[in-house]
């Protein structure tokens, strides 16, 4: 039962205790795996260069687009970001569970990468929508060993 829909989405991440806030509004492709499982592919829109290039400098190559891949169900969510040459990550959230947040950092030679792992505790996971998801809200804490690295709210609005 694989069907897909191209839809506008708004993905936001805010910290409730740190000055972190990010919003992406773009089109995404929603794949329906079965009645409760969906895959959402988001290509982050390109950012505008705020400063014009100098006449004497070489043009800066365009950044590779970042792809966000979300596996969504009412019980768990995974999000993978890939395609950015420097940082890739994968998060796993399930309500009441310590999930894993893993980051891969590439060095400048792009030959090797280092991995950082954190734990996240999902306080709340809510998915609404009748036949297709319309709104996802995740509330979680990010931890490194015994140190809390902040509380976060991730929301995803899908417009059908």
Question: Is residue 130, in this structure, part of any structural domain at all?
Answer: yes
Question: Is residue 10, in this structure, part of any structural domain at all?
Answer: yes
Question: Is residue 54, in this structure, part of any structural domain at all?
Answer: no
pLDDT (0 to 100) of residue 55: 55
Question: Is residue 72, in this structure, part of any structural domain at all?
Answer: yes
Question: Is residue 50, in this structure, part of any structural domain at all?
Answer: no
Q: Residue 101 is part of a domain; what is its CATH number? A: 2.40.128.20
Please, which pLDDT band fits residue 143 given cuts at 50, 70 and 90? very high
Task: Provide CB contacts within 8 A for 98, sequence distance 6+.
Answer: 119, 120, 121, 143
Question: Is residue 142, in this structure, part of any structural domain at all?
Answer: yes
pLDDT (0 to 100) of residue 87: 80
pLDDT (0 to 100) of residue 66: 77
Taking only the tens place, the pLDDT of each residue in 41-78 is 998 766 554 445 555 555 555 556 678 999 999 999 99
Judging by DSSP bridges, how do beta strands 38-43 and 113-128 pair with one another? unpaired
Question: Is residue 57, in this structure, part of any structural domain at all?
Answer: no
pLDDT (0 to 100) of residue 130: 82
pLDDT (0 to 100) of residue 56: 56
Question: Is residue 140, in this structure, part of any structural domain at all?
Answer: yes
Cα–Cα distance measured from residue 108 to residue 86, given in angstroms and rounded to the nearest whole number: 8
Number of domains in the chain: 1
pLDDT (0 to 100) of residue 109: 60
The residue range of the domain holding 144 is 3-45+64-158
């Amino acid at each position: 039962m694989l069907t897909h829909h191209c839809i506008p989405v708004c993905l936001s991440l805010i910290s409730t205790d740190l000055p972190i806030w990010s919003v992406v509004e773009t089109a995404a492709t929603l794949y329906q795996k079965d009645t409760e499982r969906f895959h959402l592919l988001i290509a982050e829109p390109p950012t505008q260069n705020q400063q014009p290039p100098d006449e004497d400098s070489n043009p800066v190559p365009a950044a590779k687009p970042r792809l966000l891949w979300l596996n969504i169900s009412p019980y768990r969510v995974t999000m993978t970001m890939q395609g950015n040459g420097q940082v890739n990550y994968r998060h796993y959230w399930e309500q009441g569970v310590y999930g894993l947040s893993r980051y891969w950092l590439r060095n400048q030679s792009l030959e090797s990468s280092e991995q950082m792992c954190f734990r996240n505790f999902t306080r709340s996971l809510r998915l609404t929508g009748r036949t297709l998801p319309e709104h996802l809200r995740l509330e979680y804490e990010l931890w490194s060993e015994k140190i809390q690295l902040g509380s976060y709210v991730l929301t995803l609005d899908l417009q059908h």
